[in-house]
Amino acid sequence: MKILHTSDWHVGKVLKGQSRVGEHRDALAQVVEVAQAESPDLVIVAGDLYDTAAPNPESTRLVTRALSALRRTGAQVVAIGGNHDNGPALDALRPWAEAAGVALRGSVRDNPTEHVIDGSTADGEAWRLVALPFLSQRYAVRAVEMYELTAAEAVQTYADHVGRVLGRLTEGFDEPDRVHLVTGHLTVVGARTGGGEREAHTVLNYAVPATVFPTGAHYVALGHLHRAQQVLGPCPIRYSGSPLAVDFGEEENRPSVTIVEVTARTAARVREIPITAAAPLRTVRGTLAELADLADTTAWLRVYVREAPRAGLREEVQDLLPRALEVRIDPEMLPSSGAAARAAQRAGRSPRELFGDYLQTRGQADDGVRELFDELFEEATK
């Protein structure tokens, strides 16, 4: 059978105030094009369909249309909830999903059979997929245990709980004539973060060892970490990564989807297909003259300006580089923090005097900045 593995769409992402809905539309359209060209038997979307638990209607339309389009390629489609998704809200879409032929699992249910999906390919290859949405500590660890255990034991308890859940769901993975698959949204010890993940859900409290997955699994399709990568473990374990760079920490990632070919008796063969529709993200440094060479770039930019601070510098950079979403002074151009530590005592001093002291500690002598402060202070205190 052939599988298309994708994850971490993060539809609805706003980057430094810039909506990326157009890029998401183009990137997901390219994912659909890959599915049309590859004709997979199964498409797995391993969580974080949305960037927020309260997506707007435009984001909901984009996700549901993308899932429907993937289903129309002839593939069976399974999607699970991630830590950014609202699991119960995804479960509320299940009537639509079932009518569209999409298996949608937003949150963990009490009935384990809800998370075991059986199917077969057109050629008769039987498969079973265990679909485990994101599982928070609140649901994975009983409150009384959290109060009584040390931090290290609490981590072990979460990992053990995930292991027990997967052990229960994969009990039938010893059958020889079926492809056994797992999809989940979690952090595996030893995997590398992509740079834009939610830190609270990637730290050690949420990390599980690769040994939670059974040796009988032919392929484990993971989401949550945005960097495409293979993880060492008792079976083939892989993150597909995001189809676009979600934040500037991911500018070196290579957005892609993963294609997997496997049978019940042969090992999984994996290859990446790049997704290039979204604009890349870049961090650049330089003086205004040096930055002028980037005026025609199609990338979204984070800019560190190698100029002394002055009023209007940000606007000059953004006039020069309309795709600059974040503009900062290069830290090397700022005085050492020791000067700030030796600032004058504040008692009895006016806001204008204090601001003047601050400007001196930053090496700022532009009168325009002081005048702008006076105007803003007067406006704010009317």
H/E stretch holding 317: helix 313-320
Q: Output the furthest CA–CA distance in the chain (Å, rounded).
A: 83
Q: What is the pTM of this model?
A: 0.83
Compute and round to an integer the Cα radius of gyration of the chain. Answer: 25
Cα dist from 236 to 121, 233, 261, 365, whole Å? 21, 7, 12, 60
Q: What span, in angstroms and rounded, lies between the C-alpha atoms of 67 and 43?
A: 9
Per-residue pLDDT of the chain in tens (382 residues, 90 and over written 9):
999 999 999 999 999 999 999 999 999 999 999 999 999 999 999 999 999 999 999 999 999 999 999 999 999 999 999 999 999 999 999 999 999 999 999 998 878 899 999 999 999 999 999 999 998 877 665 433 433 545 555 556 788 888 888 998 999 898 999 999 999 999 999 898 866 655 544 555 788 999 999 999 999 999 999 999 999 999 999 999 999 999 998 988 999 999 999 999 999 999 999 999 999 999 999 999 999 988 888 999 999 999 988 889 999 999 999 999 999 998 887 765 454 444 445 556 778 778 877 777 776 767 777 778 777 877 777 6
pLDDT of residue 344: 45
Counting beta carbons within 10 angstroms of the beta carbon of residue 110, is it exposed (0 to 12), middle (13 to 18) or buried (19 or more)? exposed
Can you spell out the DSSP letters for 193-236?
P-S-S-GGGTSGGGEE-GGGS-TT-SEEEEES--S-EEE-SSS-
Counting beta carbons within 10 angstroms of the beta carbon of residue 57, is it exposed (0 to 12), middle (13 to 18) or buried (19 or more)? exposed
pLDDT of residue 198: 56
Per DSSP, helices labelled H in 39-150 are 57-72, 87-92, 94-100, 137-140, 143-148
Q: What span, in angstroms and rounded, lies between the C-alpha atoms of 127 and 263?
A: 9
pLDDT of residue 342: 46
Q: What span, in angstroms and rounded, lies between the C-alpha atoms of 303 and 213?
A: 42
Closest by CA position to 300, among listed 35, 20, 80, 78:
20
pLDDT of residue 159: 85
pLDDT of residue 339: 46
Q: What span, in angstroms and rounded, lies between the C-alpha atoms of 20 and 25?
A: 9
Q: Characterize 142-152 residue by residue with b for buried, 16 or more Cβ atoms within 10 angstroms of its Cβ, and e for exposed.
A: eeeebeeeeee
